[in-house]
Chain A
Amino acid sequence: MIETRKLNTQPALKRPDDFYNALVDMHRELNEEQSQLANAKLILLLANHIGDEEALEEALKIAAEGLG
């Protein structure tokens, strides 16, 4: 587990099930390639919204943790 200073890893979504459903739903009509593109766009949009470099670095670390 990675300790974070800036990135909020505590629950922040008011209706988590709704968001999760919307996320999966976004891909419903998309093929594999389009899904990947949509995911990439989503990451870029959210990264810019967050803006905080330290929070983003923490998120990058957690995302890759235990994978490679």
Chain B
Amino acid sequence: MLQTHQNPVYEYARSPDQDAATPVHHPLIVVGAGPVGMAAGLDAATQGIPAVILDDNNTVSVGSRAVCYAKRALEILDRLGCGQRMVDKGITWNLGKVFFRDDQVYSFNLLPESDHHRPAFINLQQYYLEEYMVNQIERSPQLDLRWKSRVIAVQDEDDRVRIRVETPEGEYSLTCDYLVVADGANSGIRKMMGLESSGQVFQDRFLIADVVMESDFPPERWFWFDPPFHKGGSTLLHRQADNVWRIDFQLGWDADPEEEKKPENVIPRLKAMLGEDTRFDLEWTSVYTFQCRRMDRFRHGRLFFVGDAAHQVSPFGARGANSGFQDTDNLLWKIKLVLEEQAPDSLLDSYDTERVPAADENILNSTRSTDFITPKSKVSHIFRDATLLLAEEYPFARSLVNSGRLSVPSVYRNSPLNTPDTEIFDSPMQPGTPSTDAPVNDDAWFLQQIANNRFNGLYFSQSAGSLNSDEQAILSNLASDSPVPLNLLVVDLDPAASCPAGVAPIRDSKGLLKQRFDGRPGTFYLFRPDQHVSARWRQLEPKKVAQALARATGRS
């Protein structure tokens, strides 16, 4: 098979920790250098926490695997320093098309609103993402990524976690304050700890084929139900970087995975789909089944399970890796505050409170998509086909067609860290919501301005262009008295207007901050370090901001 990509081999290197007389202590150890584990490590470093990342392998993902990265994941990767390379190399797409048998049923645009920095989705082979993350980790003096290092024992002691690591040169022990477990769907540590992940196994098999071809197919997501070239099944076509195309065939439960992935069986399927005359090369094939399941809790003492180790979904909807990034995005700022004794240990419980419902939301959505794509009973098959038959001409039915509800970030609606709204806002940016984006300043974006791993405040002043003396005093005190690092931004201050220390102006270059946040005069938004809205008011009252900060950091 042709290879457009050569997997790098990362050398095992002996760590001085292996020669220490007693186990060396680290604040944070991450197990697993997949995308989510590396995101945890990079997030730690951006927060200023040194971290060790252990991986039992010595290369990146074999095969393209997770290919769809959603807007929110890209925004998180921006904060971690890898977003731009992803977007530069990846294939940007917003449009999806759905076909039933011979006909196009409808198309959808995932990002109907313009003026966001990042697109709805990019497609990129997982190995590129992992390489970019490894490169970024290698640049950080605070991170130590150790290859060929398998964790073989974990002990959660009262004040620390003790682990045993196996390397090509023998075993050694380490201790840490917190262990982030990112060792994947078959998490060895989960099993070691006697913990379960329970849910539903789907009785179906899917064939993935990555093919290399020069083609003028547009960069869109094409999904076929029961197409003429693959009767009775579904098929998905997606473009990746380097002219590699991902094609996914539903095979049914009785298919023999070893037989199906042989080129002599894959190629006829592809020819039926692409046409006899289309020239292509097969790059990678794989047959997969999937489960939708999660652990009861993701926090176990000083251990935090993230990504597939904590929860698994079907691939429809791209909710695997994308939700894993939201896990670490949620967790690391909390660990930072607790390590620095700016927040109590109980703040870390909110990782469960916020991410368990998020996992349920992802599982629910991906289960429903799976049920639509592969109906489990005759009657659900009939309803599925009835929906698709109606959808081509009758718009109402299009909203029922479910070829995957594509990943959108979870809103932590009921989080105890939120300060609930008490006033009316004509903006969906309610507490618990990840912030929207907007162009600001000169060629910059709002989310970049609040990607500083601190709490941020956004203020729309009483009178346009300036701050009165009360406002100046309040903002100045907020900045200096905050118990946790807090940055304050004031919208559209005149260049000559006075601006107190700790407060920075931000220019609403297209008026979209005001529009998207319903920023009437006096409005103040408080954002957490993960860019989720924590509270918002129509008037700036220091006491309320202090209370909201206390809530958001688990101090009340």
Which residues of B70-107 are within 8 A (CB) of A? Answer: none
* Most chain B beta-carbon contacts within 10 A, residue among A36, A37, A40, A45: A40
Nearest-CB residue, chain B, relative to A40: B386
Q: Which residues of B contact A44 (CB under 8 A)?
A: 383, 386-387, 390, 396-397, 400
CB pair A41–B396 under 8 Å, yes or no, is no
B267 at the interface (CB under 8 A from A): no
Which residues of B358-393 are within 8 A (CB) of A? Answer: 379, 382-383, 385-387, 389-390
Q: Which residues of A contact B387 (CB under 8 A)?
A: 44
A4 at the interface (CB under 8 A from B): no
Nearest-CB residue, chain A, relative to B399: A48
Cα distance A40–B383 in the bound complex, in angstroms: 6
Which residues of A20-52 are within 8 A (CB) of B? Answer: 36-37, 40-41, 43-45, 48
Which residues of B386-424 are within 8 A (CB) of A? Answer: 386-387, 389-390, 394, 396-397, 400
CB pair A37–B386 under 8 Å, yes or no, is yes
Nearest-CB residue, chain A, relative to B380: A40
Q: Which residues of A contact B400 (CB under 8 A)?
A: 44
Q: Give the size range of B's interface with the partner.
A: 10 to 19
CB pair B389–A48 under 8 Å, yes or no, is no
Cα distance A45–B382 in the bound complex, in angstroms: 14
Cα distance A41–B394 in the bound complex, in angstroms: 11
Given contacts A44-B397, A48-B396, contact A37 B390 (CB under 8 A): no
CB pair B396–A37 under 8 Å, yes or no, is no
Q: Which residues of B contact A41 (CB under 8 A)?
A: 386, 389-390
Q: Which residues of A contact B382 (CB under 8 A)?
A: 36-37, 40
* Most chain A beta-carbon contacts within 10 A, residue among B379, B386, B389, B394: B386
How many whole Å from A5's CB to the nearest CB in chain B? 24
DSSP class of B's interface residues: helix, strand, loop or mixed? helix
Nearest-CB residue, chain A, relative to B389: A41
How many whole Å from A36's CB to the nearest CB in chain B? 5
Q: Which residues of B contact A45 (CB under 8 A)?
A: 390, 394, 396
Cα distance A37–B385 in the bound complex, in angstroms: 8
Cα distance A37–B142 in the bound complex, in angstroms: 62
Cα distance A52–B133 in the bound complex, in angstroms: 49
Nearest-CB residue, chain A, relative to B385: A37
Cα distance A44–B389 in the bound complex, in angstroms: 11
Cα distance A36–B378 in the bound complex, in angstroms: 10
Cα distance A60–B343 in the bound complex, in angstroms: 49
Cα distance A44–B397 in the bound complex, in angstroms: 8
Nearest-CB residue, chain B, relative to A38: B386
Q: Which residues of A contact B396 (CB under 8 A)?
A: 44-45, 48
Cα distance A44–B18 in the bound complex, in angstroms: 65
Cα distance A22–B117 in the bound complex, in angstroms: 55
Q: Which residues of B contact A40 (CB under 8 A)?
A: 382-383, 385-386
How many whole Å from A49's CB to the nearest CB in chain B? 9
Cα distance A37–B390 in the bound complex, in angstroms: 11
Q: Which residues of B contact A37 (CB under 8 A)?
A: 382, 385-386, 389
Contact with A along B462-477 (1 / 0, CB 8 A): 0000000000000000
Q: Which residues of B contact A48 (CB under 8 A)?
A: 396-397
Cα distance A40–B379 in the bound complex, in angstroms: 9
Cα distance A40–B388 in the bound complex, in angstroms: 11
How many whole Å from B394's CB to the nearest CB in chain A? 8
Cα distance A41–B393 in the bound complex, in angstroms: 13
How many whole Å from B398's CB to the nearest CB in chain A? 11
Q: Which residues of A contact B379 (CB under 8 A)?
A: 36
How many whole Å from A17's CB to the nearest CB in chain B? 27
Nearest-CB residue, chain A, relative to B395: A48
How many whole Å from A22's CB to the nearest CB in chain B? 19
How many whole Å from A34's CB to the nearest CB in chain B? 10
Q: Which residues of A contact B390 (CB under 8 A)?
A: 41, 44-45
How many whole Å from B40's CB to the nearest CB in chain A? 40
Which residues of B31-60 are within 8 A (CB) of A? Answer: none
How many whole Å from A31's CB to the nearest CB in chain B? 13
Contact with A along B232-245 (1 / 0, CB 8 A): 00000000000000
* Most chain B beta-carbon contacts within 10 A, residue among A36, A44, A48: A44
Cα distance A37–B388 in the bound complex, in angstroms: 11
Cα distance A43–B382 in the bound complex, in angstroms: 12
Give the 8 A-B CB pairs with smallest separation, nearest first.
A40-B386, A48-B396, A41-B386, A40-B382, A40-B383, A36-B382, A37-B386, A41-B390
**8 additional A-B residue pairs with CB within 8 Å, beyond A40-B386, A41-B389:** A37-B386, A41-B386, A41-B390, A43-B383, A44-B387, A44-B397, A45-B390, A45-B394
Supply 9 A–B pairs (Cβ within 8 Å), ascending by A.
A37-B382, A37-B386, A37-B389, A40-B383, A40-B386, A44-B383, A44-B387, A44-B397, A48-B396
Residues of A bordering B, CB below 8 Å? 36-37, 40-41, 43-45, 48
